[in-house]
Structure 1
Amino acid sequence: MRSLLSQIATVTAMNIRSLPRRLWMSLAMVLASAVVVAILLAFLAMARGFEVTMNGAGSDGVAILMREGAAAELNSVVLREQLNLIEESAGIARDAEGPLVSPELYVIVDGIKKSTGTEANIPLRGLNARGMAMRENMQLIEGRMFTPGTNEMIVGAGVLREFDGFDIGREVRFGKNVWTVVGVFSTGGNVFESELWADIRMIQSHYDRGSSYQSIRVQLEKAGDLAPLEETIAREPRLNLDVQTEREFFAGQGKQLQYIAIFGRVISFIMALGALAGALNTMYTSVADRAREIATLRALGFGNFSAFCGTIAEALVLAAAGGVLGSLAAFVFFDGLNASTLGGSFTQVVFKFEMSPDLFVQGALLALLIGFVSGFFPAWRAARIPVIVAFRNGV
């Protein structure tokens, strides 16, 4: 066994030392692997960043109620009478001021994206003091809170990064209404940072919503326990509402970008096939270039298996180098990159690309797969070269 390992190490070292003779072809294999890995990681980081942004807003301690069958807040309508009935339901946390219930409005306004200069939809959410208090991770990072009863609003940090015209003190016109930006808030990087917040009564007035809402958020007595609310809805025919935890709601909204990860894997697979073609050519050239050396070693007693393993090792080294290069490029160019895309309510969700250790593992495995497959057949050829033929023809 020690002799076999020594033979494999010797052949591998010989192969690695001979790489400068095939420098450009070797670099081509490295770069091909790097491009494939970088593209895969870019798509996966995009999907992961969007998923983290959506899931970060969800809580098992908060339930959201919308009209029955409504997939998003934009499509929901909740009446004042329904709000009153929900406030009397069991299962809702209460304090000295009453039930912890937040009726909310969600309307679409226009913003100008910094990256493209084009218009895009931004959500303007109407809240009251209860709604603010129920978002425990919300904090003002600049300016002050809007004053109820006025056309003042605060903007999410994501909106400020991605859209023009929302700096503190700026006046923003939406239709006939002019709003003044008085503060910037953060919610820990989740989806709420893609929103504008203002007094709910002002939004009801400006957008002719009367006393209606689009969703109700409630603080649950027991995290995840929806049974009391479900019982209330079941026995009260006027409550044609669906209820789910906030975590479930945003997890469902985040599924829409799962196709990004799937698309990225498909594209990477197609590109990997192209990279394999080039890598195979590189490795066959490597075997042909070292045919005399391989034959000499075999004449000295080296086995076929050592030639096979040495060639596989060479391919794995080149592919691994490409994997490292591709991972480094993906980290430098994409980690933390700001982007925005359409969310479940046809409004922009601002998020950051997020590179995580498991994504780098996936990139490394892809690179090693390219190396193994591209090295296997040339290695098989190297192991089967007849010594006499190799010396005669320089195969």
Structure 2
Amino acid sequence: MKQLFSVIAMNVRSIPQRASMSIATILSVALMVGVLLFFLAMANGFRATVTGTGADDVAMILRGGSQAELNSNLQRDDVRLIEIAPGVAADENGNPIMSAELYVIVDGIKRSSQTEANLPLRGVESGAGDLRQNFSIVEGRMFEPGAAELVVGRGVIREFEGFEFGEVIRLGTNDWTVVGVFSTGGSAFESEIWTDLGVVQNLYQRGSSVQSVRVRLTEPDAIEALREYTDSEDRLNVDVSSEAEYFAASAASGTITLIDYVAWPLAITMAIGAFAGAWNTMYSSVETRMREIATLRTIGFSGFAAFMGTLIEALVLAAIGGALGATIVYLVFNGFSASTLGSGFTQVVFTFAVTGSSIVVGVVLALIVGFLGGIIPGIRAARVPLLAVHSG
């Protein structure tokens, strides 16, 4: 053990003697870890935003087989049948707590790129805010029924120009006044623009149709009674799910899968480059210390000590690179606001989240690269011939 610790300490202290190659190895590992953590932070943030949206005691009703609001279409008679369904909670006046909703896609200008991107202009009924968790008007007021007025989610204001409180903005062929800003605690609803349902139906010639109906349930388990009712009602062809289920399914599809498929292949490709850099660095380390290693072997140090000294040096370089990459990504991107295309072909605003588990994954990958990059040079160090002490 004394031999082992002595050789490890000597190898680590000699790293500055190979500064250029050591720095190159550290930077290549840091870049690999940084790229992986960047994409994982994006996926984590988007997943947290989407899965944190929706409640177990709110049911979302779409046309049968549509799977997404954009493909759904419900008529006024459908809404009336849903109003009287069992399991639907009522307010103090006996009215069902529900909101029939319809959205159209409008263009917004992204602050970061000055390019157009899709945003949902959602027509809602007066109870829409009561059906969203943590909903509150943080500036201004709610829109008036029948008026060309908007309330805008905080996420929209953060990522898009022209939607600040009091602004007049043109969407499509109409001018709208932003009369309020709302928050839902960072959920995907903050990526939406709301106005009165009737206004959207009239201006966009949608008649009396809607795309979805949200209802407050008397309790989460009441969704089964609601499903039994809609399944047995011949005049209805709808699918019923809780909001939490609906958004969890959205999170498991499309965007997050795409991010994961980009992140890991790219990180593995870069890991191969980092592995080659670590290998070359450690081979150079062994070659430049050939006589030194042979001398240690001559005075009784074991080949295993030489092997472990080289391997630990590679692991130290990889660990420094992994820590550097993780630190940079955390400082630069954790909490960074961005938007990407969601399941309804509109932008969802979210914040990057560099989690502890992601950092562990990045550092472990760095150590794997260091381990693989140090094995063969370590074997080379263990097999240095004793006669090498007389060479040169």
Alignment of 1:113 onto 2:110: yes
Q: What pairs with 1:381-392 in structure 2 (closer than 5 Å)?
A: 381-388=380-387, 390-392=388-390
2:34 match: 38
Aligned counterparts of 2:29 and 2:222: Cα–Cα separation in 1 = 49
Q: How many residues align?
A: 389
Amino acid at match of 1:263: V
Aligned counterparts of 2:102 and 2:313: Cα–Cα separation in 1 = 61
Task: Give the match's secondary structure for 1:141.
Answer: strand
Task: Give the match's secondary structure for 1:63.
Answer: strand
2:193 match: 196
Give 1:24's match in structure 2, choosing from 13, 20, 39.
20
Alignment of 1:58 onto 2:54: yes
Alignment of 1:126 onto 2:123: yes
Q: Which moved more, 1:186-195 or 1:298-307?
A: 298-307
* Paired residues of 2:291 and 2:391 also in contact (CA < 8 A): no
Aligned counterparts of 2:57 and 2:296: Cα–Cα separation in 1 = 70
2:296 match: 297
Aligned counterparts of 1:249 and 1:104: Cα–Cα separation in 2 = 16
1:319 match: 318
2:353 match: 354
Aligned counterparts of 1:58 and 1:134: Cα–Cα separation in 2 = 9
Q: What pairs with 1:1-395 in structure 2 (closer than 5 Å)?
A: 5-97=1-93, 98-254=95-251, 255-257=253-255, 258-388=257-387, 390-393=388-391
* Paired residues of 1:62 and 1:220 also in contact (CA < 8 A): yes
Q: What percent of counterpart residues are identical?
A: 51
Aligned counterparts of 1:161 and 1:387: Cα–Cα separation in 2 = 67
Q: CA deviation at 1:224?
A: 5.0
Aligned counterparts of 2:165 and 2:277: Cα–Cα separation in 1 = 54
Aligned counterparts of 1:225 and 1:296: Cα–Cα separation in 2 = 80
Task: Give the match's secondary structure for 2:113.
Answer: coil
* Paired residues of 1:122 and 1:194 also in contact (CA < 8 A): yes
Q: CA deviation at 1:225?
A: 4.5
Aligned counterparts of 1:14 and 1:270: Cα–Cα separation in 2 = 32
Aligned counterparts of 2:272 and 2:43: Cα–Cα separation in 1 = 23
Root mean square deviation, CA, Å? 1.3
Q: Which moved more, 1:50-59 or 1:35-44?
A: 50-59
Task: Give the match's secondary structure for 2:62.
Answer: strand
* Paired residues of 2:54 and 2:247 also in contact (CA < 8 A): yes
Q: CA deviation at 1:93?
A: 2.0
Q: CA deviation at 1:136?
A: 3.2
* Paired residues of 1:53 and 1:351 also in contact (CA < 8 A): yes
The answer for unaligned runs of 5 or more in structure 1 is none
Q: Which moved more, 1:170-179 or 1:235-244?
A: 170-179
Q: CA deviation at 1:66?
A: 0.5
The answer for unaligned runs of 5 or more in structure 2 is none
Task: Give the match's secondary structure for 1:262.
Answer: helix
Task: Give the match's secondary structure for 1:375.
Answer: helix
* Paired residues of 1:110 and 1:121 also in contact (CA < 8 A): yes
Change (3 A) 1:253 1:131: same
Amino acid at match of 2:389: F
Amino acid at match of 2:60: I
Q: Which moved more, 1:263-272 or 1:171-180?
A: 171-180
Amino acid at match of 1:248: E
* Paired residues of 2:53 and 2:244 also in contact (CA < 8 A): yes
| CA deviation vs aligned residue, 1:132-183 (integer Å, no higher than 9, x gap) | 1111301222222212221111111111111111111111122232110011
- Tell me which stretches of 4 or more aligned residues in structure 1 moved more than 4 Å: none
* Paired residues of 2:118 and 2:347 also in contact (CA < 8 A): yes
Amino acid at match of 1:6: K
Task: Give the match's secondary structure for 2:349.
Answer: strand
Q: CA deviation at 1:110?
A: 1.2
Aligned counterparts of 1:193 and 1:13: Cα–Cα separation in 2 = 54
* Paired residues of 2:291 and 2:390 also in contact (CA < 8 A): no
Q: Which moved more, 1:207-216 or 1:280-289?
A: 207-216
